[in-house]
């Protein structure tokens, strides 16, 4: 038995560190947090200085039990969780659960998993930093208070059940996306005309080359046309040439947010994928700690970079630099994200290879020489109107850091003048230039682009909202809650005008371009917009960007020991609680309603609004004698922007279009998109096709395609086996049982034996799945991976415990009453059965 037990957060990290420390240490993982706040009554004692009530979750009991046994057998326990506040809190929780004294237990930190770093940390242990622990507790407690107080307000004021939630950072992030969407919807595009003149001159090899000079912009066609007319018969003379040296400097090495941004731009990774891969690289000892807002590099790193740059490119390419962080609150980490060994320019692991190489290149480039440029600007005068044209060219004299890396920019940082400068041929003052063509091209100004995950992180960081560890979970939460969706938007065709002056003849042309296409952008849902408006109206402090950033600064003050955490929470909670109580008492229900017009047939009002099951259009009112009619909005439509015509089109569905093989054929739009209904069969209409555009010929084509796809591929116990592809991947269907196909099977060539094996396995699994079922109540007791759980509708809830706090044995669960199970459900979802007898509002 090793004398020392060292506890880290992840098993991958444990393996790497155990190899470094050798036989004196046994390294074990606690798999992240081992305690969490109780769910019941918020898990916080509001009246006792907001004291948290922590419990060990069921899924962590086995880990805790194992760590307790190992701790008893070890001479000494060491804690080596991550170096940020979250890691410090995990170390403190380990002390509490394992019975260790936080004032004497050895705590070590390091920001890279290398032999020197680990050995240095072991030689210089410290104890748990309670200021950092309290800062983490303050964040956790305040966010729990906001979530637990605000979410029930939404439940009571909006007909969406208990699926709604609000949060201190998540709600502010949704507000940013909502405001950008409304800015885009309100934007009116204005056109202008840009003048470009194309000349020819001889280059250094005596060949005629074409180059461009730019003129002024005109607000309308008349001004542009008048200018081109005034250039008829003109001569063009070079009147001034200026050659200026220039330079470009490299970007700082990566922080968490800049890594997320650049991995999105260059590799197309989501924020969560970037962090998942970076975690893997860190735990395998390839990069330094990946949650950091520092741009510093250690002396060891600088030495490694110098050796690589000078060795690969020569001394001229090396230029040591120290970067200053624009983020004033950056303080938690010691270093930027960098490779642990600069001599490793790549890694073997295919999953992390591209991200590692991006980090390596960025780190190398940060300590390399400026790129040296020569920029030439030539002024060309028009004889007839004395106006000037400007031609610019850029020559790269020394590539410097560009030899390794060039930083990308976000869409919103680009404009139409950002076209790369090309080289100019040699020009001389007084040189006459022959004009090939002069154009005035209509261009349109653009609204600010929608946020990508990465540009949202950039904005949150600029506003001081959140910290490196919070960006990824915030985005995951708002997507999961349905307040925001990540999707593509197809572009639309737009006409634009071109005026051309060629050989003193003015021509007018029309051309087309695709505009407005977007990929993987964040769009607020109608639910997100409605909830944001409500929170803005009644909780403007919580939704205020400056207030949210101020809270982050207060957490930092707690972390540095300048502020007591419970006093900070107290200053927030008292006015916040008054707002909550006042809103519950006085606020109207959330309608999210927009009147569109009147139904020509009935004369009843047509409104777009949020219903219980999402955005919809309604004809009529519940108070009227005749029941209202409802239609669900299609994907991409919004209650804020849908037109009256688009809304009335929705009531054309379902639309019967004919009969095929004795069965009625109709088209409609459902939860998963447009479809053809043929008898009792549903046939999906491909993405991009409108249900109303499907005629009978197209419907028959889709039906025949479905019939072919649904043809049996095998039989089992006399029943046919069919296959298909659904939301969760490929499957086979037998006797109304859907069975997902693992990757080990060739879906395209499934055999009779494959189908039999898959069905047998599924039936065995299903036989062991249910302990008890109450189908009428939509309640069941099921065996899960981590033990028994309650399924209530689509929700999966934890099993409650006996009165003495112990777990139920399997035998007891097989006879437990429905009333007992309902009590457990009520404990987790207050009011779950209150409206069971009432008709649910739409």
Pick the closest to residue 640 from 179, 185, 187, 188 (CA basis): 185
C-alpha 132/C-alpha 93 separation (Å) is: 13
3-state secondary structure 3-46: CEEEEECCHHHHHHHHHHHHHHEEEEECCCCCCEECCHHHHEEC
Q: Kindly provide the residue ranges of all beta strands, DSSP E only, lying in 225-299, ordered along the sequence.
A: 236-248
Dihedrals phi, psi of 146, to nearest 5 degrees: -60, -50
State the sign of the Cα–Cα–Cα–Cα dihedral 764, 770, 776, 779: negative
Q: Are 381 and 239 in contact (CB under 8 A)?
A: yes
State the sign of the Cα–Cα–Cα–Cα dihedral 807, 809, 810, 812: negative
398 beta partners: 372
Q: Are 474 and 272 in contact (CB under 8 A)?
A: no
Dihedrals phi, psi of 506, to nearest 5 degrees: -95, 125
Residue 584, Cβ density class (10 Å: 0-12 exposed, 13-18 middle, ≥19 buried): middle
Q: Are 214 and 389 in contact (CB under 8 A)?
A: yes
Q: Are 244 and 377 in contact (CB under 8 A)?
A: yes
Q: Kindly provide the residue ranges of all beta strands, DSSP E only, lying in 219-349, ordered along the sequence.
A: 236-248
C-alpha 324/C-alpha 366 separation (Å) is: 12
The conformation of residue 685, written as its DSSP 8-state character, comes to P
Dihedrals phi, psi of 445, to nearest 5 degrees: -70, 155
Helices then strands, counting H and E runs in the chain, come out as 22, 35
Distances (CA, A) of 645 to 485, 492, 614, 642: 25, 19, 20, 8
Given phi > 0 = left and psi -120 to 50 = alpha, else beta, which region is 341?
beta
**Residues ≥6 apart with Cβ < 8 Å to 825:** 779, 790, 792, 797, 832, 833
Residue 520, Cβ density class (10 Å: 0-12 exposed, 13-18 middle, ≥19 buried): middle
**Starting at the edge strand that comes first in sequence, how are the strands of the sheet with 492-502 ordered?**
432-433, 236-248, 371-382, 388-398, 208-218, 191-202, 435-444, 492-502, 505-515
* Helical pair 85-98 and 130-157, crossing angle rounded to 10 deg: 100
Active-site residue (options: 289, 317, 451, 471): 289
- In degrees, rounded to 5, the angle at the alpha carbon of residue 78 between the alpha carbons of residues 469 and 566 is 50
Pick the closest to residue 722 from 735, 711, 730 (CA basis): 711
C-alpha 79/C-alpha 91 separation (Å) is: 6
**Residues ≥6 apart with Cβ < 8 Å to 812:** none
The conformation of residue 619, written as its DSSP 8-state character, comes to E
C-alpha 207/C-alpha 271 separation (Å) is: 50
Question: Structure tokens of 132?
Answer: 């950092």
* Helical pair 526-538 and 170-186, crossing angle rounded to 10 deg: 110
C-alpha 321/C-alpha 262 separation (Å) is: 21
289 included as an active-site residue: yes
> How far does Cα 313 stand from its chain's mean position?
38
**Catalytic annotation, residues:** 289
């Amino acid at each position: 038995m090793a004398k020392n037990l060292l506890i880290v957060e992840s098993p991958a990290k444990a393996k790497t560190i155990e190899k470094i420390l050798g036989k004196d240490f046994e390294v074990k993982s606690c798999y992240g947090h081992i305690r969490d706040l109780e769910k019941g009554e918020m898990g916080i004692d509001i009246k006792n200085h907001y004291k948290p009530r922590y419990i060990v979750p069921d899924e962590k009991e086995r880990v805790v039990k194992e760590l307790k046994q190992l701790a008893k057998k070890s001479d000494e326990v060491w804690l080596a969780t991550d170096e940020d506040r979250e890691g410090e809190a995990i170390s403190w929780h380990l002390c509490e659960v394992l019975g260790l004294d936080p004032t004497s237990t050895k705590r070590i930190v390091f920001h890279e998993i290398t032999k020197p770093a680990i050995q240095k940390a072991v030689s210089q242990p410290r104890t748990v930093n309670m200021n950092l622990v309290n800062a983490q507790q303050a964040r956790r407690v305040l966010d729990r208070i906001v979530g637990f107080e605000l979410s029930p307000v939404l439940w009571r004021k909006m007909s969406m059940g208990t699926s709604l939630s609000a949060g201190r950072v998540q709600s502010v992030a949704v507000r940013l996306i909502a405001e950008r969407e409304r800015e885009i919807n309100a934007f009116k595009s204005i056109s202008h005309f840009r003048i470009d003149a194309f000349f020819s001159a001889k280059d250094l090899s005596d060949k005629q080359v074409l180059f461009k000079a730019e003129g002024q912009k005109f607000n309308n066609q008349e001004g542009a046309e008048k200018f081109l007319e005034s250039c008829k018969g003109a001569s063009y003379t070079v009147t001034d040439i200026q050659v200026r040296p220039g330079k470009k400097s490299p970007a700082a090495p990566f922080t968490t947010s800049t890594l997320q941004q650049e991995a999105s731009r260059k590799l197309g990774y989501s924020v969560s994928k970037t962090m998942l891969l970076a975690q893997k690289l860190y735990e395998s000892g390839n990069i330094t700690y990946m949650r950091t807002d520092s741009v510093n590099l250690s002396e060891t790193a600088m030495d490694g970079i110098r050796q690589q740059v000078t060795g690969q490119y020569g001394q001229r390419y090396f230029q040591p630099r120290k970067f200053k962080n624009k983020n004033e609150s950056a303080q938690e980490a010691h270093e930027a994200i960098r490779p642990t060994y600069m001599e490793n320019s790549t890694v073997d692991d295919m999953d992390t290879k591209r991200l590692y190489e991006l980090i390596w290149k960025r780190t190398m480039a940060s300590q390399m020489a400026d790129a040296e440029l020569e920029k030439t600007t030539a002024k060309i005068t028009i004889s007839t109107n004395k106006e000037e044209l400007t031609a610019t060219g850029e020559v790269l004299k020394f590539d410097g850091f560009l030899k390794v890396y060039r930083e990308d920019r976000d869409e919103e940082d680009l404009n139409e003048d950002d076209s790369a400068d090309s080289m100019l041929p040699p020009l001389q003052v007084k040189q006459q230039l022959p004009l090939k063509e002069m154009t005035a091209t209509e261009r349109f100004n653009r609204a600010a682009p929608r946020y990508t995950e990465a540009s949202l992180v950039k904005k949150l960081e600029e506003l001081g909202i959140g910290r490196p560890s919070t960006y990824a979970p915030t985005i995951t939460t708002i997507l999961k809650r349905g307040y925001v969706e990540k999707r593509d938007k197809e572009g639309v065709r737009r006409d634009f005008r071109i005026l051309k002056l060629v050989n003193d003849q003015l021509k007018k042309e029309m051309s087309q371009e695709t505009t407005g296409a977007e990929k993987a952008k964040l769009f607020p849902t109608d639910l997100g917009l409605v909830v944001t408006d409500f929170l803005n109206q009644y909780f403007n402090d919580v939704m205020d960007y400056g207030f949210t950033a101020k809270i982050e600064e207060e957490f930092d003050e707690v972390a540095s020991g300048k502020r007591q955490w419970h006093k900070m929470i107290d200053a927030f909670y008292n006015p916040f609680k008054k707002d909550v109580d006042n809103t519950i008492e006085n606020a109207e229900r959330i309608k999210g309603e927009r009147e569109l017009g009147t139904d020509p047939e009935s004369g009843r009002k047509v409104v777009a609004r949020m219903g219980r099951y999402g955005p919809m259009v309604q004809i009529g009112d519940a108070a009227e004698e005749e029941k209202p009619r409802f239609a669900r909005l299609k994907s991409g439509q919004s209650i804020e922007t849908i037109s009256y015509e688009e809304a009335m089109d929705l009531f054309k569905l379902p639309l019967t279009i004919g009969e095929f093989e004795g069965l009625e054929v109709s088209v409609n739009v459902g939860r998963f998109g447009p479809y053809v209904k043929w008898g009792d069969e549903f046939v999906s209409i491909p993405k991009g096709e409108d249900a109303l555009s499907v005629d009978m010929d197209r419907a028959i084509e889709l039906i025949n395609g479905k019939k072919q796809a649904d043809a049996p591929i095998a039989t089992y116990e006399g029943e046919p086996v069919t296959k298909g592809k659904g939301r969760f991947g490929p499957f086979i269907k037998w006797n109304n049982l859907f069975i997902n196909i693992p990757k080990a099977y060739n879906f395209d060539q499934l055999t009779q034996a494959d189908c039999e094996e898959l069905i047998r396995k599924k039936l065995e699994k299903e036989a062991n799945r249910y302990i008890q079922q109450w189908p009428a109540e939509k309640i069941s007791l099921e065996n899960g991976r981590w033990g028994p759980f309650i399924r209530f509708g689509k929700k999966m809830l934890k099993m409650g415990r006996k009165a003495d706090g112990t777990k139920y044995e399997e035998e007891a669960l097989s006879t437990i009453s429905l009333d007992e199970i309902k009590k457990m459900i009520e404990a987790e979802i207050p009011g779950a059965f209150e409206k069971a007898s009432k008709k649910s509002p739409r």
